[in-house]
Structure 1
């Protein structure tokens, strides 16, 4: 990385307004100091994400959704994560940390954090990287996340938790369309029971299986259509709030560290990406 780019990255990270990217008529702001979340995504001047320090779109790593009682097993070892959504641990450690800006340009930036950061403990050393890239024409956004092990292998997941506005300020509320192969039955503890059922109509706070890849379309009639796509095989859809809806592509289901562990090793990192593309209606 050149000295010029390093200086530019450092200046952007220090700015109170976050790291700003733009292409075409799209403007995006990333806040590395607040869990590397996307704080704003404006297309043609219209904001698509719910505003606020807890909203926008945050990366979930090294797990997604809830872990049962905050505990997961790796071989013979049982680890306890902080229970931040009693009785479970939820959404990983990355959203609570200050990420480092590794590089940035007008339309792309890369950010990292160390899994062993004492501010959000994880029992294994490693690195999480998020790459944020706007297409040259401003018509799409690609987010890529990597989880790398620096020593012992460990189970991990990665994904994103966007809060899309239910209404863009005029016209009808958003419509969510997708065709899942199955729905993970949700128990009273909000964890999958292990049964796969026929997808049910909303409202949802549920995980769905899409083995051919995630594809979910959000349509604000007369305004905008946005498609969330990913080669990941699971997506959580949440639409129980008045202000926003969530479409969360992720590499495994809730509690997946225990039920469907994907081991990350020094020679086999976890990588997952999602692309959001949109068009005016």
Structure 2
């Protein structure tokens, strides 16, 4: 099938999936209001086969050092799949399945499958990485850019984390866990019971980002948008907390965003 944009609808919700632009969800409208920052680099893109920054673009796998391009020098950031064209495998009215075959510069063969499922009050993103060849470490995550302001109201973030990964001057976790600090953030938090972050635009909408994974990066240093990024491990996790994809054990993860409209005061 082609990689043209796909529009999913359910009730007054509409999601646009862009396989040809990195497999991202390029838009999510609820009651006619766009929740995601618009633009080629924005929306919500998949972070795979790694999330956030990988130190110096290097990771160890099978005794060999692998080097990724330094697209956020001096580090490599957010994986390779967001830069490629995905293929559409299947579409129904409110669900799309898209795939991406891992290619260079990633040194291992594998397939990423992402399912985008929309209901009247939720969006669920599910991703898997599988291989039929060599095993390799990988991560899965999502990087949504939520509009900071809806209807004249700035978003409020609310969450309770068990810890915050101490961030070094190089923007990577130092390995120390500290008590969560007030924002602004470009930081990774630990939630052992699963990611649970609420975004509230007063008088407009409340949206909860949830996942069974225990890691989330919160980024709110940009004027236009805030990012709440569930992922299977911390930044630099290919080195510090590798999750192995093998021919008999894929890596799988999902996140669900649930929303409800709010009445204006």
Task: Settle same-fold status: TM greater than 0.5.
Answer: yes
Aligned residue in 1 for 2:162: 181
State whether structure 2 residue 107 is matched by structure 1 residue 123.
yes
TM alignment of 1:164-243, pairs within 5 A: 164-170=146-152, 172-243=153-224
Alignment of 1:1-281 (within 5 A): 10=2, 13-14=3-4, 18-115=5-102, 117-118=103-104, 121-135=105-119, 138-170=120-152, 172-281=153-262
2: distance between equivalents of 1:222 and 1:43? 14
Report Cα offsets for 1:114-153 as digits up to 9, x if no partner: 11x24xx211111001100012xx1101000000012111
Q: Tell me, in whole angstroms, the C-alpha distance in 2 between the residues paired with 1:149 and 1:253.
A: 22
- SS in structure 1 opposite 2:20? helix
Runs (4+) of structure 1 exceeding 3 A deviation are: none
Deviation digits for residues 3-30 of structure 1 (CA, Å, limit 9, x no counterpart):
xxxxxx54xx34xxx1110000001101
Consecutive unaligned residues in structure 2, runs of 5 or more: none
| Residue aligned with 1:218, SS | strand
3-state SS in 1 of match to 2:239: helix
- Report deviation, 1:232: 0.6
Deviation at 1:75, TM superposition (A): 2.9
Mapped to 2, the partners of 1:34 and 1:112 lie a distance apart of 12
How much is the aligned-residue C-alpha RMSD, in angstroms?
0.8
Q: CA offsets per residue over residues 39-78 of structure 1, 9 Å max, x none?
A: 1100000000000000000000000000000000013111
The answer for unaligned runs of 5 or more in structure 1 is: 1-8
CA distance in 1, matches of 2:217, 2:18: 23
Given the two structures, how large is their TM-score scaled by the length of structure 2?
0.97
Q: What is the aligned residue count?
A: 262
With structure 1 as the length reference, what TM-score do the two structures score? 0.92
Per-residue deviation, 1:165: 0.3
